[in-house]
Structure 1
Amino acid sequence: MRIRASLATATVSGAVALTSLVAPAAHAADNPAGTAAKLAAAPSVAAVPADDVQGDTKITKVTVNAGTDLVVGVGKKSFTIYVTANDPSGIYTAGAFLWHGTTLDGDNPDVDGVLATDQDATCDKWSATAATCKITITVDPTSDLYDSSLNGRWNVAAWAVGNDSDYIQKNTYKNHWVKRAAGFSGFDASPEPVSKGRTITVTGTLNRASWTYLKYYGYGSQPVQLQFKKAGASSYSTVKTVTSSSSGYLKTTVTASADGTWRFHYAGNSTSSVADAYDYVDVR
């Protein structure tokens, strides 16, 4: 981010101070890229040494990943943050990043994860006083999400700078959920076709991404709904709830009554995403 000269000194000193203080909590041995290095490289982080405001710049809205949970598997994932701000002189730039921990303030900040970018924001100045700036961030689980314990609620830091060098900085403007991707493997409703009144056996395995080992593993002891949508219908109805085994395996039976689609639906939780698997069965 390129900011005006009047903010340059504060920005640089804030970045250096924040980086040096966060480094001990970055778990460099576990995180090859280093959370501290991410903090140092990101111009977004450099602008937010602490909550601060100068003048009448205001942030009016921050939207992360279109308002939905950020779900990451074992590969890279890009998402966007939009920061809307206003200032009587107009908005020069704005930005945001996500951080995991308890505080960025004080002499001992507690930060063990950062999702940020090293690219400048692009701003749509839709009036003389207001603008919406877009920040694109790419998450790499091999470095940014180096341990599965980072799943859950993250903090969103945001700031904006006016054309007159006024600015506002918020370490925690809001919170956002970053979750491990969940999914099903081996899902099957059989036999197919099947005679009306006969038994249908539905099986599958619920899996969840491990950021620690960069693999998917069976997710045990989770409630999964078996749902059915009759051919021609517009919605699913829940038939029963099945609990996954310690290895994530699920198996249940139902009676064939009509053509339609069977679905395993996992509603997710505070650390894991929603997941669905489908199979159409012809009943004769």
Structure 2
Amino acid sequence: MRIRATVAAVSGALALSALAIPAAHAAGGSSFGADATKLFAAAHPTSGKTAFSAATAADDGPYAMNVTFSDVKIAKAVTVGTTAHVATSVTYTLTHGADVDITAADFFSGAYIYKGSYDDPANFLIGDDPAKCTVTSATTASCKGNIDVYPGDGELFNSDAGLWHAGALAVAYNGQDPTSSDFDITKIGYADQGALGSTQVQRLSKLTVNAAPEPVKKGKTITVTGKLSRANWEDGKYHGYTNQSVRLQFRKKGSTTYTNVKGIKSSSTGTLKTTTKATVDGYYRFSFVGTSTTPAVNATGDYVDVK
């Protein structure tokens, strides 16, 4: 869920308008992801004030609920292409006060990731559905959910690639229906905590290879070409990854191990080209070790028959 547009939409009306949004979920609908995005945006205005955590009944806002989060576990990297939906699992521990009923039908919690600072994040992603929390004691629960990413829906800019931080939130409606004329926002609880972990959100990479001529006479030179590209989240296509170090590797027929032959750099369009002498039958491939914004990738080996 892209928070840039959401912040602009809800930061003015802040808590009241944001809490009026989740009516569908309070009534048993499935709008958790969209609702949680608006809640988070309202709680994190660009001023840096965390409105919900500071709210009191006198503020005409939700109260700060006695819920904290810990032991968040998320994948080291989340690799995202141009169109396919990506879901990555997150687990965490939820700790709550005795006055909080986490088994209530209108209590929801979920983990999220955000880009930039916690007070003023540049982007925010959460799961479509709330996490499933299993009670482990009178005041704790073990929770598991997903972070869902839809690159085809414009949720990511290329500048979003890199380090993201993990957090978690919870909301308790306590029987309140935001669509009712009797709705009392001060009876709704909200908790939100950031800086609980981190992950790298990366642009999916692709790598090709072609070795020619084939077959080739022993001792003759072959030319190996290919291309290193990565997902562009802004136009939904793959573009060459320029000026990157790539290794040419060789695996002898009958072996399972590739060895380095030489290192080269990708061109201004991501293309690769180098030469080497053919001595025995085997497979040639290019290998890219990856960067913080782009994952490692190996091309599928191209077989060369040496006569």
Correspondence for 2:200 among 169, 177, 186: 177
Deviation of the 1:113 alpha carbon: 1.7
Q: Larger % of strand: which?
A: 1
Structure 2 vs 1, CA of residues 39 and 242 (structure 1 numbering), >3 Å: closer, same or farther?
farther
- Provide the rounded CA distance (Å) in 1 between the counterparts of 2:256 and 2:12: 55
C-alpha distance in structure 1 between counterparts of 2:13 and 2:155, whole Å: 15
In structure 2, the residue matched to 1:29 is: none
- Check if 1:249 corresponds to 2:271: yes
- For the residue of structure 2 that corresponds to 1:43, the secondary structure is helix
Q: Which residue of 2 aligns with 1:99?
A: 114
Contact 1:266–1:275 (Cα < 8 Å) also in 2: yes
Aligned to 1:155: 165
1:235 is the counterpart of 2:257: yes
Give the secondary structure class of the aligned counterpart of 2:219.
coil
Shift >3 Å, 4+ stretches: 15-19, 47-58, 86-94, 126-130, 159-162, 165-169
Quick check: 1:199 aligned with 2:190? no
Counterpart contact for 1:56–1:166, Cα < 8 Å: no
Please list the CA deviations of residues 78-117 of structure 1 after superposition, one character each: whole Å capped at 9, or x if unmatched. Answer: 212322215487965642112222232xxxx2x3322223
Structure number, greater radius of gyration: 2
8 A Cα contact 2:70 2:196, kept in partner: no
Q: Aligned pair 1:282/2:305, yes or no?
A: yes
Residue 30 of structure 1: aligned partner: none
| Residue 244 of structure 2 is aligned to residue 222 of structure 1 | yes
Q: Which residue of 2 aligns with 1:20?
A: 11
CA apart distance, 1:236: 1.6
Q: Show structure 1 runs of 5+ residues with no match.
A: 1-14, 24-37
CA distance in 2, matches of 1:256, 1:271: 35
Q: Deviations over 1:37-87 (max 9, x none)?
A: x99924266369359696585522322xxx242122211322123222154
Q: CA RMSD in A?
A: 3.6
Listed as ranges, the gaps of 5+ residues in structure 2 are 1-5, 15-30, 44-49, 54-63, 173-187
Cα pair 2:229 2:241 within 8 Å, conserved: yes
How far does residue 17 in structure 1 lie from its aligned partner after superposition? 11
